[in-house]
Every structure is written in structure tokens, then in C-alpha cells.
Amino acid sequence: MKILVINGPNMQLLGRRKAEFYGTKTLPEIEADLRAAADSLGVTVDFFQSNHEGAICDRIAGAIADGVDGIVINPAAYTHTSIAIHDALEAAAIPAVEVHMSNIQARDDFRRTSLTAPACIAQIAGLGADGYEFALRALVRRLSAASAQTR
């Protein structure tokens, strides 16, 4: 099973920005934790981060050809603005879980609406870096169950 983890704009700055919302772990540290979790689950994980909406859409579209089974995505600020990322997720039809390190419902009004979540099977928010591992585990469980049903 192959899982793609996508991070949107400014996520490369984790560990240096707004620790009260995002904690102190860096993106490479989160990726290392996810790699270890993926190993324990017997799945492979690839990572992609971009500050550019089109690049994220291109990577989602490329996931089809790459044989990606599931996506964990933190669209970051594009969560609230990107119909394009929503449409890419919808068109790819690859099960995706949206992750947010902060509780977007407890923040600014404009952060409370996710345009991308309706194209995902679930959303996890407010659990910091742990949310990524919870999303990975839930996604693998869901994909494994679906695979078992089709056998």
C-alpha cells in the first residue's frame, strides 16, 4: 500500500512559526515519525510539500499514475481558498484524509471553512503533529478494510 502525504504553503517553516498553534516539530521530524509509523504498518509513504497551488494539484493528479492508494493532506492556507485542490482531490478519486495541526474551528472565522474537506473521507484537526499519524493509521485501516471486502 502506498500513501502520499501532501503539505501546503509554509509548512516548511514548522518548528519556527506560531508554536502555540503548530508546536515545535519541524516538517522533517514529522516526516521521520510518519516514515516509522508507515514501516510499522507495512506501507510505503512519500512526501510532497509546496507553496504553490498548481504544484499541489499536479502532484494529486500524478498520484493516479504513481499507484497511490491514499492521501494524507494538509492544504494549509489553501484549505480555505482552493477550489482547484478540492477539484483535484475529487477527480483523482483517491481516498484522502485532511489534517490540520491546529483546531481550525477555534481560530479566525475565515479558517473555519474548509473547501477541500468535502473531497476527503475525513478531517483531523487540533491534535498537532500527532494528527498526521492518526490520519495515516485511519487511512490504512479504511483502505485495508475496503481491500478485504473486494477479495
pTM above 0.75, yes or no: yes
State the burial class of residue 24 (Cβ atoms within 10 Å of its Cβ: 0-12, 13-18, 19+).
Answer: exposed
Please state which CATH class domain 2-150 belongs to: alpha beta
Average pLDDT, the chain: 92
Active site residue 22: yes
Q: Which of 22, 78, 86, 132 is catalytic?
A: 22
Q: What is the C-alpha to C-alpha distance for residues 52 and 73, in angstroms, rounded to an integer?
A: 14
On the question of pLDDT at 150 being above 80, the answer is no
The amino acid sitting at 116 is T
> Per the residue annotation, which of 78, 86, 100, 132 is the catalytic one?
100
Residue 80 annotated among the catalytic residues of the structure: no
Least confident of 18-27, 46-55, 70-79: 18-27
Residue 79 pLDDT level (bands cut at 50, 70, 90)? very high
In angstroms, the CA 57 to CA 74 distance is: 13
Q: CA torsion angle for 14, 120, 142, 148 (degrees, to 10)?
A: -140
Which pLDDT tens digit goes with each residue over 85-138?
999 999 999 999 999 988 776 666 766 678 999 999 999 999 999 999 999 999
